[in-house]
Amino acid sequence: MPWDRNQMAARAAEELEDGMYVNLGIGIPTLVANYVGDKDITLQSENGMLGMGPFPFEGEEDPDLINAGKQTITELHRTSYFDSATSFGMIRGGKIAAAVLGAMEVAENGDLANWMIPGKLVKGMGGAMDLVAGVGRVIVVMDHTNKHGDSKVLKACTLPLTGKGVVDRIITNLGVLDVVEGGLKIVETADGVSEDDLRAATEATIV
Amino acid sequence: MKKVYGSASEALDGLLQDGMLIASGGFGLCGIPELLIDALVKSGVKDLTVASNNAGVDGFGLGKLLETKQVAKMMSSYVGENAEFMRQYLSGELELEFNPQGTLAERMRAGGCGIPGFYTKTGVGTVIAEGKEHKEFNGETYILEEGIFADLAIVKAWKADETGNAIFRKTARNFNPPAAMCGKVCVMEVEEIVPKGSLDPDHIHLPGIYVHRLIQGEHEKRIEQRTTRPRPDGTARKAEEA
């Protein structure tokens, strides 16, 4: 059985180590926070916060306290706030250990496309280009294929890039792949998914 | 010199001209200068270029200034929440310059610090890098981005004293300090103006040197995405962290 959204998030959470400062993207990456367990992880929200807490209880929403997806959130005892230039200073400066992000396409050379589909409404890259260029490790979490069954793990991206050669590890519903010299290396497969299944769903070169 | 003005319109008096570049604070609808945006709408100033991370929503924030077609160009990182913006953009009425969010923030900060350009890895190998100078440092490629020097900055803080020393609240700080810094003139709106001496000098987020005019007013502070979690039945809220 391929992994579901929560299993993918749980697998991504295994990538995070005690003491890390981490940025989680919107979608499945947000679920990663539910699976960090006892690890001491500090979440960054790039609109200017370290130590992001869970959603507030109803009636306790604060319009001055939102995450990068503009959702109301809460603070923790460890929380600090800062301005956007400082926030992206710590991202660009390599202080954030890892980012977990969704993607439309990933290529075997680590190219990432997740912000724009030509001909469709373009909303903007937000902080994604800064994150993938700056953080220590970029972990992509996404479905292995699109809704037409085409591979999203490609030899080369077809969509406009968010970053060139930036992805370190890809976690999909079928397994885990690393970007290495010459292509992608299978790290593990989801329970019940064979390496052959994974290869069949992957356009990229597997070494 | 007296910095405190009676209203947003008074505070903008004499500062506006068509075609000017305005930097605005705010992220989404959080920490936006609501009152100054309303006063800009009232003023009728037009052909504006606005550097702001987002473009508001229909009917609120910078969305109001778009509805009246006073904006000719936006410099932003994300504009997804505004149908009128998209209509004007797709029909060619409105120009849009996408900036990666951190690049936009740093362009404002740099402009405010007298730095006309800086090199960054952000956007290398993407459409953002097209037409920009590339340079190698220690074997890695960077692109040149330019500082923003705005004619006017409009920002929102929580509290300020009469000299403009300002304190922000939680994530409403966001782009406000860098936007304030990059304006030749900065007008700030706050929820409360307090007497000199009542803010701890060690706790000032933005020194008054960056703030030229100041107003106090009521803020709607609209929430864009209200998200909550279920309250565990009958139990008080636990401390989330020891």
Here the ipTM equals 0.96
Q: How far apart are CA B190 and CA B203, in angstroms?
A: 16
| pLDDT one-digit tens code per residue, A122-147 | 889 999 999 999 999 999 999 999 99
Check B222 against A123: CB less than 8 A apart: no
Q: What is the pLDDT along chain B (242 residues), one digit of tens a residue?
A: 799 999 999 999 999 999 999 999 999 999 999 999 999 999 999 999 999 999 999 999 999 999 999 999 999 999 977 888 888 998 999 999 999 999 999 999 999 999 999 999 999 999 999 999 999 999 999 999 999 999 999 999 999 999 999 999 999 999 999 999 999 999 999 999 999 999 999 999 999 999 999 999 999 999 999 999 998 875 544 444 43
CA angle A74, A76, A80 (to 5 degrees): 95
- The pLDDT, as a whole number, for residue B240 is 46
Mean pLDDT, chain B, whole residue set: 95
| pLDDT one-digit tens code per residue, B118-177 | 999 999 999 999 999 999 999 999 999 999 999 999 999 999 999 999 999 999 999 999
- The pLDDT, as a whole number, for residue B235 is 53
Per-residue pLDDT, averaged over A89-105, amounts to 97
- The pLDDT, as a whole number, for residue B234 is 53
Check B241 against A134: CB less than 8 A apart: no
Q: Among this protein's residues, is A181 annotated catalytic?
A: no
CA angle B176, A62, A40 (to 5 degrees): 90
In sequence order, the β-bridge partners of residue B157 are: B190
DSSP class of residue A121 equals P
The answer to whether residue A51 scores a pLDDT higher than 80 is yes
Per-residue burial over B200-226, b if 16 or more Cβ lie within 10 Å, else e, is: eeeeebbebebbbbbbbbebebbbbee
Per-residue pLDDT, averaged over A95-104, amounts to 97
Check B123 against A84: CB less than 8 A apart: no
B229 contacts on A by Cβ (under 8 Å) = 54-57
Q: Determine the distance in angstroms separating the CA of A20 from the nearest CA of chain B, rounded to an integer.
A: 16
Alpha-helical runs (H) found in A14-110? 28-31, 84-92
Q: Which of B5, B60, B58, B3 is nearest to B37 (CA)?
A: B60
Helix (H, G, I), strand (E, B), or coil: what is residue A44?
strand
- The pLDDT, as a whole number, for residue B239 is 45
- The pLDDT, as a whole number, for residue B241 is 43
CB atoms under 10 Å from CB of A122, counted, come to: 18
Q: How far apart are CA B112 and CA B91, in angstroms?
A: 34
Q: Write down the catalytic residue from A14, A15, A17, A46.
A: A46
Mean pLDDT, chain A, whole residue set: 96
B209's CB contacts (< 8 A; 6+ apart) are B164
CB atoms under 10 Å from CB of B47, counted, come to: 13
- The pLDDT, as a whole number, for residue B72 is 97
B184's CB contacts (< 8 A; 6+ apart) are B149, B150, B151, B152
| pLDDT one-digit tens code per residue, A18-50 | 999 999 998 899 999 999 999 999 999 999 999
Per-residue pLDDT, averaged over A64-86, amounts to 97
CB atoms under 10 Å from CB of B148, counted, come to: 26
A46 contacts on B by Cβ (under 8 Å) = 101-102
Considering the entire predicted model, what is its pTM? 0.96
- The pLDDT, as a whole number, for residue B242 is 37
